[in-house]
Amino acid sequence: MVRQIAHACIGAALALVVSGAGAQPRHGGTIVYANTAGPSTLDPFLSGNTIEIEVVNQIYEGMLVLDEHYHPKPMLARAVEANADATAFTFTLRHGVKFQNGKEFTAADAIASLQRYGKVSPNTVLLANVASYETPDPYTVVVHLKQTNAVFKDMLVTPIYPVLMLPAEQADKPAREVDFIGTGPFRFGEWVRDSHLTINRNSDYVADETQSGTDGYAGRKIVDVDAVRYNFVPEANARVAAMRAGEADIAGIVPPELAKTLAGQDNFVAQTVFPGCMSVIFLQSANPPTDNPLIREAIAAVTNADDIIDAAGLVAKKQSSILYADSPYYDSKSSSSYYSQNNIAHAKELLAQAGYKGEKIVVLTNGTYPAMRDSLLVLSEAMKAAGMNVDFQVVDFITNGNAMQRGLKTWNVSTSWFCSQPLLGPQQWRPIIYNYTQVTGNAVLDAAFQNFTTKVRVEDRKAAWGEAERELLGKAYVVKISDFGWMYGYNRRIKGLQPWYSLRFWNVTAQ
């Protein structure tokens, strides 16, 4: 099973990283993490990429969070119960949890956070089914829904635009203007844009003593280091060089060729976590000329997954679905006929049917991740071969991400990598796809996602997802390229760091 492979790799990484663990740990110190780029925001409700998500989950926590196996698990809640028809969910909160400003977390903060999420997050649809909130006492939150939602708990642990808790006084803050105050084990330190960001140990953190060890974003979180410093280092060679020189402890996203240079070295280890992410191309459906589905389908028709995988240089595997094979909703029949078509002649036919007259098609990518840039460069050449007028634009990662996350009509084709969404299933894909591609008025998609959330039987939800995936791929809102793994470099002085889709720095020492 795919997830079993992922966790086998994670276990192998842990065995390598913690070798020599018999030595007495030395507490304190700073972990320096050379990552590819910095965040554009630390407002959790607008954090839409891995760089931002890794940071905000150190500072903030949710009532429910992902465990190591990508299932919902209580964190700030002690328990959650649903009524018989899944229209009411009761959260019992932990007592004595403190925000980093010293205030106790209560039901009032939870309600205020959910209400703000419903106003400012690009994923407001997550709470669109809420009829009302109820607080019977300071430690109980009841969410009443308008209709059945059998996957509501799964939706609440969305990794993109995460549902994390803020103090109630932040409820009226506009998007991207919150103070960085959460209940997490680290507190915000310093942020120098285009340089670095630091988070510091929260000495007043209230760990969940009922849990043990590291378990996704749940578990018992003990912070042994003083701080974590994220240095923004776009070049992979520079990240690895900083690690070798002792200027960084971790090098994020190490290309396979560079990873080979770490093999056999005493102080460092390179490790792949697979599956790490999916490579997916998005087509903007609200911006001409890709508002015409025939033109989108023509772009899908020229796609050659083999060529793109070769150009990207990632540890990748061909696979047609935007779910992994061990998902209960996976069915390759919904996706295989649309995958890696490599058919220039058919693309030309579709363009002729669409009445395409050489209108400019903006292909937007970034130089921060060369694999993304090179993937779209290959696609652009295939599009040109079919007669499309391509405007290839390379910007920085933040600009690229903002254009996609905000649904700006400044591009037609772009790409990104999605890590936890395929593991978590259709409920996590909906907000991304609707927001990035600006889907509107698609009755088939709307009905399919509606059925997915309201049907209680897994078989019915699987059928609904099949309808959605056929529409998404058939009308070329998205084009699937590959599944691939992440490669990281680590200094062996870091003990207890457990590679996952997102790095976590609790229960970790820097000896």
Which residues does 11 contact at the CB level (< 8 Å), separation at least 6? none
User: How far from 90 is each of 82, 95, 460, 485, CA to CA, in Å?
Assistant: 6, 16, 26, 38
pLDDT greater at residue 309 or residue 511: 309
CA distance 483 to 315: 8
Q: What is the pLDDT of residue 18?
A: 35
User: How far from 362 is each of 88, 299, 394, CA to CA, in Å?
Assistant: 45, 12, 10
Length of the chain: 511
**Residue 313, Cα to own-chain centre: how many angstroms?**
21
pLDDT above 90 coverage of the chain, percent:
72
pLDDT greater at residue 132 or residue 452: 132
Q: What is the pLDDT of residue 277?
A: 85
Q: What is the mean pLDDT of the chain?
A: 90
**What value does the mean pLDDT take over residues 149-164?**
92
Give the tens place of pLDDT for each residue, 261-286.
887 788 998 877 777 789 999 999 99
**What value does the mean pLDDT take over residues 287-294?**
97
Give the tens place of pLDDT for each residue, 348-364.
999 999 999 999 999 99
Q: What is the pLDDT of residue 235?
A: 92
- Three-state SS string across 435-484, please? HHHCCCCCHHHHHHHHHHHHCCCHHHHHHHHHHHHHHHHHCCCEEEEEEE
**What value does the mean pLDDT take over residues 416-437?**
80
Which residues does 411 contact at the CB level (< 8 Å), separation at least 6? 284, 287, 362, 363, 364, 393, 403, 404
Check if the beta carbon of residue 126 is closer than 8 Å to that of residue 120. Answer: no
**What value does the mean pLDDT take over residues 330-353?**
96
Query: Omega into 275 within 30° of 0, i.e. cis?
Result: yes
Band of pLDDT at residue 379, cut at 50, 70 and 90: very high
pLDDT greater at residue 368 or residue 196: 196
**What value does the mean pLDDT take over residues 98-106?**
98
List beta partners, residue 345: none
Domains (range + CATH), the chain: 2-251+492-510 (3.40.190.10), 275-486 (3.10.105.10)
Q: What is the pLDDT of residue 435?
A: 87
Give the tens place of pLDDT for each residue, 404-424.
988 889 999 999 888 766 667
**What value does the mean pLDDT take over residues 181-204?**
97
Q: Is 405 helix (H, G, I), strand (E, B) or coil?
A: helix
**Does the predicted TM-score (pTM) go above 0.75?**
yes
Q: What is the pLDDT of residue 420?
A: 65
Q: For residue 285, give the nearest of 467, 445, 433, 469 by alpha carbon.
A: 433
CA distance 381 to 383: 5
Residue 7: pLDDT over 60: no
